[in-house]
């Protein structure tokens, strides 16, 4: 399992739609072909839908259990101590982009299915692992293509969240704030590599002077766990007295706040907690300076009310705000039958009796009914997704595989719905 994960991690599968005439670029296409070949070698039935998505299946019967994984990864960023696309085993850890999000869980799921098939016990249900390739950029055209062309699972899970399980996911909004470059105060600026990451670097030019700031990357749904290099750039320029209207606007409305406090949209609810806001990327395009805001909002709120506040707050600055895409919140029954089987599997392996969670992250659980985000992050263990030096503990990988095996046994051999 470790060797196969190392091989998969060595494929730089950042989604770049259209690259090389492929739906999501050469890297995701190579990753998809690799896992399908691996699954076929284990005796799974496989399909590659012209690079749009792929799946591998075992068992027989009318009922279909789904495992929704993604093979694309966020860009590596800077400052790694190990090559991000090598799969380096060092001590009790395996390093590489995607080992925890989501290639490690995908490989663990494949091996769980392999063990189930090798047991020889007949399966009266089918188990299908579905491989997406554009989860990280938020487009999810892979899942849309799948839903248009294929049978939908009756229930299942996506191994792309937290244990013990996830019963709610906050809503997601990607909003841009654009100002004419001539009015911004910047001759040039570039920071961050993806909106859903805390940016670890930013470079800018003002009054013929160049500036660079460094930060620490982390997942955009928890911006307080990183150190935002864009914020550091705006703060530095404003504190040093440079005439940068965009920077002043940034410090007025965002600054070193994570919940929209300066924008008067720090909404929260009992079910899912506070709104979060991450300034994930800034760049120049078409004579504009464009800032990308990744917003995760509470499950009882509507995106329209949040967008209205954002537009009102930025209107005095002469900028354009746009909603680029959104995903509605997910909120399901935490006492439902599928959730119950998954919790039993997790607890039987770990002994942890923690309750299900609501998270700020967005998973493929949003894409289909009766899909629950289930692992791989274990409570109390470091979570390094979207960070430099992303790693997974070897013991955790083995635990994850065993949990998924027991979960599939319960779903496959018991009456669920």
Tell me if 71 sits within 8 A of 131, measured CB to CB: yes
Q: Residues, the chain, total?
A: 417
DSSP code per residue over 353-403:
-PPPEEESS--GGGTSTTEEE--EEPTTS---TTSTT-EEEHHHHHHHHHH
Query: In the structure encoding, which two tokens stand for residue 142, read together?
Result: 């892979």
Tell me if 197 sits within 8 A of 219, measured CB to CB: yes
Query: In the structure encoding, which two tokens stand for residue 156, read together?
Result: 């299942």
Q: Would you name the residues annotated as active-site residues? A: 72, 136
Sequence-distant (6+) residues with CB within 8 A of 1 are 107, 108, 111, 397, 398, 401
Taking the C-alpha atoms of residue 313 and residue 400, their distance in angstroms, rounded to an integer, is 45
Tell me if 73 sits within 8 A of 103, measured CB to CB: yes
Bridge-based pairing state of the strands 171-180 and 288-297: antiparallel
């Amino acid at each position: 399992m470790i060797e196969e994960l190392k091989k998969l991690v060595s494929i730089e599968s950042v989604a770049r739609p259209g690259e090389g005439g492929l739906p999501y670029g050469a890297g995701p296409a190579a990753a998809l072909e690799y896992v399908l070949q691996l699954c076929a070698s284990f005796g799974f039935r496989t399909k590659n839908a012209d690079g749009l998505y792929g799946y591998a299946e075992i068992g027989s019967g009318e009922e279909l259990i789904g495992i929704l994984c993604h093979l694309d990864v966020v860009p590596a960023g800077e400052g790694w101590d190990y090559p991000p696309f090598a799969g380096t085993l060092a001590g009790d850890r395996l390093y590489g982009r995607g080992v925890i999000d989501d290639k490690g869980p995908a490989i663990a799921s494949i091996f769980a299915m392999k063990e189930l098939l090798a047991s020889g016990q007949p399966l009266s249900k089918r188990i299908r692992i579905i491989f997406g390739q554009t989860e990280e950029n938020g487009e999810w055209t892979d899942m849309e293509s799948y839903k248009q062309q294929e049978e939908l699972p009756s229930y299942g899970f996506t191994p792309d969240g937290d244990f013990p399980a996830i019963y709610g996911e906050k809503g997601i909004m990607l909003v841009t704030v654009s100002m004419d470059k001539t009015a911004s105060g910047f001759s040039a600026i570039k920071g961050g590599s993806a909106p859903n990451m805390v940016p670890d670097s930013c470079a800018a030019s003002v009054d013929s002077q160049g500036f660079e700031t460094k930060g620490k990357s982390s997942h955009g749904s928890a911006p307080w766990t990183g150190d935002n290099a864009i914020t550091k750039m705006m703060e530095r320029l404003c504190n040093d007295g440079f005439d940068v209207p965009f920077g002043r606007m940034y410090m007025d409305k965002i600054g070193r706040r994570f919940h929209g406090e300066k924008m008067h949209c720090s909404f929260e609810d009992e079910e899912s907690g506070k709104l979060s806001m991450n300034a994930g990327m800034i760049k120049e395009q078409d004579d504009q300076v464009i800032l990308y805001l990744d917003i995760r909002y509470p499950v009882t709120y509507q995106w329209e009310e949040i967008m209205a506040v954002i537009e009102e707050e930025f209107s005095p600055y002469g900028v354009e705000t746009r909603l680029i895409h959104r995903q509605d919140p997910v909120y399901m029954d935490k006492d439902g039958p599928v959730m119950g089987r998954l919790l039993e599997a997790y607890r039987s392996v770990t002994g942890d009796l923690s309750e299900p969670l609501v998270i700020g992250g967005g998973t493929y659980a949003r894409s289909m009914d009766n899909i629950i985000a289930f692992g791989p992050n274990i409570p109390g263990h470091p979570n390094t997704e979207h960070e430099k030096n992303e790693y997974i503990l070897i013991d955790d990988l083995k635990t994850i595989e065993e949990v998924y095996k027991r979960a599939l046994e319960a779903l496959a051999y018991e009456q669920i719905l």
